[in-house]
Structure 1
C-alpha cells in the first residue's frame, strides 16, 4: 500500500491538475476531442501512479465531467449530442479506471516484491549470523535492534515461576517477559521457555514474522552458546588431565625420589649429598605448590568465585615482594620504578600473583647477559608497568593463544608448568579493572604491559 502522504499527493494532483489541464486545453488552438480524451487519460494515469487507485477514481469521474462540459458539443452543458461522443467518453472512463487499477496493482506488487526482498535479505542475515562470528546470539540481538530502531532487545528465559534475562542489548532493559508486555514492550515467543522482549517504537505492519524468525534463531543461538560452553569445559578438563599427567608428575617424581633416597638404608649419604637431596625435594615441592596455586586460582576465576579486595598499593612495595618470591634467579632483574609514581588500585595478593607469573615468564626466556627490565609510568589515568625481555619474542599470530589456558608456545619441556601463567595473569588483571597486553621489545623480544587504574588520592 502507498503511504498516506502519496495518497494525499494523488488527491491534490487530481483536484489541481485536472482544472489546470482544462484551462490549458481550453486556451489552446482547439484539439480534436480524441486528443483531449487522451490527455485527460494520461493525467488520470499520472494520478494513479502517484497516489494509487483511490485518487484515480475521482480523477476519472472528474475528467469525464470536464470533458463533457468543456469539450463535447453542445459545450457548457452535460448533454451529449451524438452517440459517438457518448461512446468515446464512456470508453475514456472505462479505460481510465482499468489503467488506474492496473497501475495501482503493479505498484502494489512492486512494493510487495521490495518488502519480500528486504525480508529475505534480513532472514538471510539472521540465518548466517548463527553460523558466523564468535557470539552469534549477541550479533542477532544487535541486528534486530538496528533493523527496527529499538531501544533494547532482551531474551528472557523461564526460571521456576518467574523469568530471568538470558541475553540483552541496548538500554533500558525491559522488565517484562511474562508474555504480556507493558508500555512500549513487544513480546515475541521464541519457544516454550524463551521470549524476546522488544523495547521501543511499535513494529511496522508485517514485521512480526521477521521478529519471530529472529526469536527462533535466538533460541538456536542460545543453545549453541551453551553447547559451546560445555564443550569448552570438556576441553579444559581434558587439557587439565593432560597437564596433570605430564607437568605435575615431574615435581612429584623428583620430590619422591629425593625423599626415598634420604630414607634408604642401603646408601650412606654424606652431609653435602643429604643437603642436595633436601634442596631437590624442597624445589620440587615449591614448583608443585606454584602449579596447584595457579590451577586453583584459574578454577576460581572461571567460576566467578575469586575473592578480591582492591586497595591503594604502591608498585615499589609489590614488585620487590614478587621478586623475592621468585628466588635467586630474580636478583638479576633490573627495576626502574620512579620514586614519585602514583599508587594503583588493586588487590595486593592478586597483583603479586600476576607479577610472579609475568616476571617468571620473562626470566625463563631472557638470554644470559640481558636480564629482564621492569619499568613503570603514569599514562592517561593509568599506571603502566612494563616487564621487558629480549628473548625470542612471540609472533603476532600467536599472541592470542598464549593467553589461553594450557598453551606454551615453543615450550616442550615438562618443567615449566601447565601453561596457565599468562592466562591466569590476564584474568586476574582484568578482574582488578586493568589490562595485560603484549608488545614488541625494540631490538627483539617481548614486553608485557600491565595497565592498572590509579588509586584515588
Structure 2
C-alpha cells in the first residue's frame, strides 16, 4: 500500500508537470528558454541543452562537438555533444536534448521525453516566427514596388495623354478653333506637362533622398521671394492660392530650390482637396528661432490618428480610388524639410480642413 501510495504521488507529480507543458509553446518568443529552464528546475539539473546536428549523421558524431550546434540552452556550461551529457533524449535524427547534473531514473524518462518533444515544437515555432519577421519587410518592399509601378504608370500616362490630345487637336485641320479654345488647349497641355515634370522630379529626389545622396545648399533665404515663385510654379493652379507673407520676416536657412519644391508639393496637394471656390491660404510667422509657413485648405481634412500616414509614400487618404497618383509629394516634402533642419507637420484648420505647418530655422537662430 505504501509503495502504491508513493507511485500514485509520483504519477500525480508527473501529471502536473506534463499538464504545464502544453501552454509553454504558446507563450511567445521566450517559450523555448522557459521550457528548458522549467526542465532544469524540475529535475535540479546543472544545464539543459537542445543540440542540433550540423551535417549528415555519422557513426562517431555523438562525441564530436564539431558535428553539433547549440540550438538553445539553460543553466551552467552547456553540453557540446550528446556524449558529454549525463542523460539525453534523441528527438529525431537532427535534434537531441542533453542534460547535465545527475543521472535520471528510468521513471523520469517519460517526463524528459515529453519535455524534449515540446522543446522541438518550440524551436520550430521560434524559427517560423523569425522567417515571418524576415519575410515581412520583403513583402512590404514588394508591395511598395507594385504600388510604385502601378501609380507611376498611371501618373505618367495621364498627363502625357492629355498633353498629346491637346497638341494633336491644335495641329488638326478638321476643326477651326477659336482663340478661346486654342488658349484652353494650350493651358491643358501646359498643366499636363507641369504635372509630368513634377512627378519625375519627385521620383528622382525621393530616390536620392533615400540613398543619402541628395545635395543641399543651405543659405539664408527670403520667404517673400520664395513663396511667390512657388505659387507661380503651380501653373494653372496658381489662381487658387493666395499668399500673405510679411517682408519683415527674418530669412530662413534652406536650400532655395528644394524649399520651392516643398511648397509646390504641399500647395498642390491642398488645392487638390479644396472645394471649388475656396482658395488655399499660405501664411508665415515667426516663432522664436523658427519661422512657420502654414498652407491652409478648407477640404475634408484627415483624422488626427491618420496624420502620420499622409507622409507615407503611395498614401492618398480620402481618395475615392486607388489610382489618383503616386502620393510621393508629402513624403518627399517631409524628407526634404528634415534634411534642411526643419519639420513638416499636419494640423487641423479651424472650421474644417487641413493645415500643413512647415517650420524652418531662421538664419539668426542657426548662427546662434
Q: Shorter-chain TM-score: what band?
A: 0.5 to 0.7
- Asked whether the 8 Å contact 2:240–2:278 carries over to 1, the reply is no
Counterpart for residue 237 of structure 1: 145
For the structure 1 residues 353 and 225, does the alpha-carbon distance in structure 2 shift closer, same or farther, using more than 3 Å as the test? farther
Counterpart for residue 176 of structure 2: 269
- Asked whether the 8 Å contact 2:187–2:236 carries over to 1, the reply is no
Q: 3-state DSSP class of the match of 1:335?
A: strand
Does residue 361 in structure 1 map to residue 275 in structure 2? Answer: no
What is the alpha-carbon distance in structure 1 between the residues aligned to residue 241 and residue 77 of structure 2?
64
- TM-score where L is the length of structure 2: 0.59
What is the alpha-carbon distance in structure 2 between the residues aligned to residue 332 and residue 221 of structure 1?
52
| Cα displacement string for residues 119-140 of structure 1 (whole angstroms, at most 9, x for unaligned residues) | xxxxx89759xxxxxxxxxxxx
The Cα of 1:245 is off from its aligned counterpart by 2.9
Counterpart for residue 375 of structure 1: 283
Q: 1:246 aligns with which of 118, 131, 154?
A: 154
The Cα of 1:309 is off from its aligned counterpart by 1.0
What pairs up with 1:129-168 in 2 under 5 angstroms? none
**Structure 1 vs Structure 2 CA RMSD:** 3.5
What is the alpha-carbon distance in structure 1 between the residues aligned to residue 358 and residue 216 of structure 2?
18
* Larger Rg, first or second structure (1 or 2): 1
Number of residue pairs matched by the alignment? 252
The Cα of 1:450 is off from its aligned counterpart by 0.6
The Cα of 1:208 is off from its aligned counterpart by 10
- Asked whether the 8 Å contact 1:247–1:414 carries over to 2, the reply is no
- Asked whether the 8 Å contact 1:333–1:374 carries over to 2, the reply is yes
Q: 1:303 aligns with which of 186, 202, 211?
A: 211
What pairs up with 1:43-122 in 2 under 5 angstroms? none
Counterpart for residue 259 of structure 2: 351
Counterpart for residue 335 of structure 1: 243
- Asked whether the 8 Å contact 2:240–2:271 carries over to 1, the reply is no
For the structure 1 residues 442 and 264, does the alpha-carbon distance in structure 2 shift closer, same or farther, using more than 3 Å as the test? closer
What is the alpha-carbon distance in structure 2 between the residues aligned to residue 386 and residue 414 of structure 1?
28
What is the alpha-carbon distance in structure 1 between the residues aligned to residue 131 and residue 361 of structure 2?
37
The Cα of 1:293 is off from its aligned counterpart by 1.3
What is the alpha-carbon distance in structure 1 between the residues aligned to residue 134 and residue 360 of structure 2?
32
For the structure 1 residues 258 and 398, does the alpha-carbon distance in structure 2 shift closer, same or farther, using more than 3 Å as the test? same
The Cα of 1:402 is off from its aligned counterpart by 1.2
For the structure 1 residues 406 and 349, does the alpha-carbon distance in structure 2 shift closer, same or farther, using more than 3 Å as the test? same
Counterpart for residue 359 of structure 2: 451
Does residue 439 in structure 1 map to residue 350 in structure 2? Answer: no
Counterpart for residue 297 of structure 2: 389
The Cα of 1:207 is off from its aligned counterpart by 10
Unmatched 5+ residue regions in structure 1?
A: 1-123, 129-191, 193-205, 210-219
Counterpart for residue 177 of structure 1: none
Unmatched 5+ residue regions in structure 2?
A: 1-26, 32-68, 70-74, 79-127
- Asked whether the 8 Å contact 2:154–2:323 carries over to 1, the reply is no
- Asked whether the 8 Å contact 2:191–2:236 carries over to 1, the reply is no
Counterpart for residue 90 of structure 2: none
What is the alpha-carbon distance in structure 1 between the residues aligned to residue 132 and residue 258 of structure 2?
34
- Asked whether the 8 Å contact 1:434–1:451 carries over to 2, the reply is yes
Between 1 and 2, higher relative CO (CA 8 Å, sep ≥ 6) is seen in: 2
What is the alpha-carbon distance in structure 2 between the residues aligned to residue 207 and residue 314 of structure 1?
68
